[in-house]
Structure formats: C-alpha cells, structure tokens
Structure 1
Amino acid sequence: MRSKFDEQLKQLHIDLLDMAYLIQDAIQNAMIYFFEADINGAKKIIKNDENVNHYQKKIENICFNLLIQQQPVAKDLRTITAALKMVTDMERIGDHASDISELVIDMKDCPILFNVDRFKEMYSNVVSMLIQSINAYVNKDIQMAKECIKEDDEIDLLFDKNKEDLIQLIHENPEKGRAAVDLLMVNKYLERIGDHVTNIAEWVIYSLDNNPVNEQ
C-alpha cells in the first residue's frame, strides 16, 4: 500500500516540476515578446496557457486521490496540502503571462514611449525568484526558500517606482495615457507574479517544517 502511495507521490513531484518549468518559460517568453512587440509570439503564450491548466487539473487529481485513498500521515499531508496550494499560484502565474501577452497584442498600434529598463530589472528578478523557489522545492532547502521570499521586497520597490513614473507621465503627456495605462498593468502583473512566487516559497517551507504560511 505504501509503495503505491510513494509512486503517486513521486509522480506528483514530477508533474509539479514540469508545471513549474512550463510557467517559467511562459513568463520569460511573454516578457521577451513584450519588449520586442512580437504579436505572433504573444498569441502563442495565450494558446499555451491551456497546457498550464492541464497540469493544474492533473496535479489536483493526484492530490485528491492521495488524500481520499491513501490516508496520508502528518508529513505527507503537509506535502500534499502544499502541492495543492503551490499549483494554484503556478496557475495564476501562467494567467499573468497570458495577461501580459494580451497587452502586447493590444499595444500593437501604440509604441512604448517609456524607459523600460526598470521593467527589465523587475522581470529578471521575478524569473530569478521563480527559479530559486523551484530549486528550493527540488533540494528541500528551507534557507533557499527564505532567501527567495526576501527578494520580493525589491520587486515591490521597482513596482512603486514604475507606478510613480507612469502616473507622472500621464499627467505631463495625456496623449500617452493609453500606453501608460497598459504599462501600469504590465507593472502590476509582474508585481503579482512576485507575490505568487513568494507564496510558492512559503509553501515549500510549510511542507518541510510545518511553519504557518501567510498567503499574499
């Protein structure tokens, strides 16, 4: 009985990692297409979000089967609970990659008249956090997960600076208002991705030592 449980648990880990790498590719490519104003690439991201949703359903089914059929002990229960929470945050990251891609399409006739260097820094930090949270999960590394959580403060600072500059741009150049609003949305999506990655790292910690988790 335990061998079957362990087999299903192993499959759960494999699928979680596959989904994590899928959303990593999604956000990386979404931002590359954003900077390059690549409409066709953005459309691919939106279509590929179906794969993210597929993994979410598959992982949730494995978790529910483990809970119902196997009656897991405390540590295993934490692992399964954390997986259910993590997959929700991963799915939301995939959604935000699609949201950014939709803005790329909406902005096709509206060139970016704004310095996006801070967006590039934000994007780089978000991807770094995501990779770190995945590695923390793979290596069962609580300290790495904690370091990942700390990095979200920098994302928030960049978010605030971008927001202030874009609001100022709207005041000074109303004709650029539409482009600025779209950039504000990209800014918000990146900030929210940082929050979801933070949640993932916190659930990694919970799965390893049963610490309480404060979701964002």
Structure 2
Amino acid sequence: MRGTESVRKTFDQELAALKQTLLRMVDLAERALDDSVTALKEQNLLLARVVIDSDVEINRLDEEINNWVIGLIARQQPVATDLRKVITALKISTDVERVGDLAVNIAKCTLRIGDEPLIKPIVDIPKMAAIVQDMLNKAFDAYDLEDPKLALAIAETDGRVDRLYEERIRELMQIMALSPRRVNQITQLAFICRSLERVGDHAVNMSESIIYLTN
C-alpha cells in the first residue's frame, strides 16, 4: 500500500511540475505576442528582434515538455484521467509553441516594413490582437482551472476574429488598389493579420484539449 501511495505521490508531483513548466512557457508566448504587436505599432525594430530571439527559450521548453511527457508515460504508464492530463499538456505545449512562432512571424513582418511611413495608423490590428490575446488568456486560465465552461466560451469568440480578419484583408486590398507602390507594406500587414487569426485558431485548439481533459 505504501508503495502504491509513493508512486501516486511521485506522479502527482511530476504532473504538477510539468504543468508549471507549461505555464512558464505560456507566459513567454503571451509576452512575445504582446511585444510583437507593440513593435509593429511603434515600429520598434529592436523590440521586434527581441521577440525573434526569445523564441529560442519557448522552443526549448516545448522540447523539454515533449521529453518529459514521453518519460512520464514510460515510467508511470498512466491511464484514464491521468493519461488525459499528460496528453493535454503535450497538446497545449504544441499550440503554445506555434503561438510563439506566430509572434516571430509578426516581428519579422515588422522588420520588413522597417521605418517606412505607415499607410495608415496602426489601430485596427491591435484591436484584433487584443481579442486574440483575451482568447489566449481564457484558454490558459481554463487549463489551469480545468474549467470546460470557460473553454467553450473561447470557441464562440473565434468567429469574431475571423470576421475582423476578413475586414482587414478587404481594407488592405482596397488600399493596394489605390497605392500599388506600397505593396510590400500592405503584404506584410496582411501576413500579420493572418498570423493573429491563426493565434485565435490555436486558442480554440487549446479549448478543445481542455474539454477533452474534463469530459
């Protein structure tokens, strides 16, 4: 009996440590996304480079979590709810790593725009980013609290993000028709909008993983 209790305690401790590592990765990805949008608004090329450099640590944590999960399954052979918790951590880390990559994409687009005068004030993209960041925050809270209701609310918001994405693309195409010489900047802004839309998709993926965990 004591042996069983000891194994259970060890597994619970490892699972808690795994979750804390994932939440640390989450913090880095959130910061990278926020900084990438700030770099765009302010045309802060130094901050854009910081975002790109910071992705190394996000990738390192993702690899650490992957190896950790493989080792945990091999050592503990979890089943039922325990196995779901481990698999959910792995799924979410994959989505978080992609959020980090998308933040890097935004930063690279900002570098490509450089200090070129902007075609219009950067107002609508940060509004879209704020909605996406709220979706991410809710996804991370839902994971931390294992709250399926909060997870369901995330998917409902994604339609709004999709509509905003379509509106921004239409607007950018209209501007391109009037200012064809600004094609580089318009293309980069379109890529940024696409990256933000994809972040929303990853937040939805996380919500689906949380629902899987709690069912």
The two structures have a TM-score, normalised by structure 1, of 0.94
How many positions carry a matched residue from both structures?
209
- Counterpart of 1:139, as a letter, is L
Deviations 1:130-189 (A, max 9, x none): 111111111111100111121111110100000111111112221121111111000100
**Structural mapping, 1:148-187, within 5 Å:** 148-187=154-193
Q: Is the 8 A contact 2:49 2:107 kept in 1?
A: yes
| Structure number with larger C-alpha Rg | 2
What is the rounded CA distance, in whole Å, between the counterparts of 1:157 and 1:198 in structure 2? Answer: 16
Q: Does 1:4 align with 2:10?
A: yes
Per the TM alignment, residue 111 of structure 1 is displaced from its structure 2 partner at its CA by 2.3
The 8 Å contact of residues 8 and 62 in structure 1, kept in 2 or not, is answered as no
Gaps of 5+ in 1: 210-216
Identity among equivalent pairs (%): 31
Deviation at residue 116 of structure 1 after TM alignment: 3.1
2:195 aligned with 1:189, yes or no?
Answer: yes
How far the C-alpha of 1:115 sits from its partner, in A, is 4.5
Match of 1:53 among 41, 55, 59: 59
Q: What's the RMSD between the two structures over aligned residues? A: 1.0
Q: Decide which of 29, 32, 47 is 1:41's aligned counterpart.
A: 47
Question: Using the alignment, how far apart are the partners of 1:205 and 1:111 within structure 2?
Answer: 45
Q: Which residue in the other structure is 1:214 paired with?
A: none
Q: Which amino acid aligns with 1:9?
A: L
Q: TM-score normalized by structure 2?
A: 0.94
Shift of 1:2: 1.6
Q: Distance in 2 between matches of 1:116 and 1:194?
A: 20
**C-alpha separation between the residues in 2 aligned to 1:125 and 1:84?**
25
Pick from 52, 70, 77 the counterpart of residue 64 of structure 1.
70
Distance 2:117 2:18 in 1: 43
Which of 57, 60, 73 in structure 1 is aligned with 2:79?
Answer: 73
Equivalent residues of 2:22, 2:89 under 8 A apart: yes
- Look up the match of 2:4: none
Partner of 2:134: 128
Separation in structure 2 between the aligned mates of residue 38 and residue 106 of structure 1, nearest angstrom = 12
Q: Identify the match of residue 110 of structure 2 among 95, 104, 108.
A: 104
Contact 2:106/2:195 (8 A) holds in 1: yes
Letter of the structure 2 residue corresponding to residue 135 of structure 1? D
Contact 1:132 1:144 in 2 (8 A): yes
Is the 1:149–1:198 contact (alpha carbons within 8 Å) kept by the matching residues of 2? yes
Query: Aligned partners of 2:153, 2:75: CA distance in 1, in Å?
Result: 36
- List gaps (5 residues or longer) in structure 2: 1-6
Conserved 8 A contact 2:43-2:115: no
Q: Is the 8 A contact 2:142 2:207 kept in 1?
A: yes
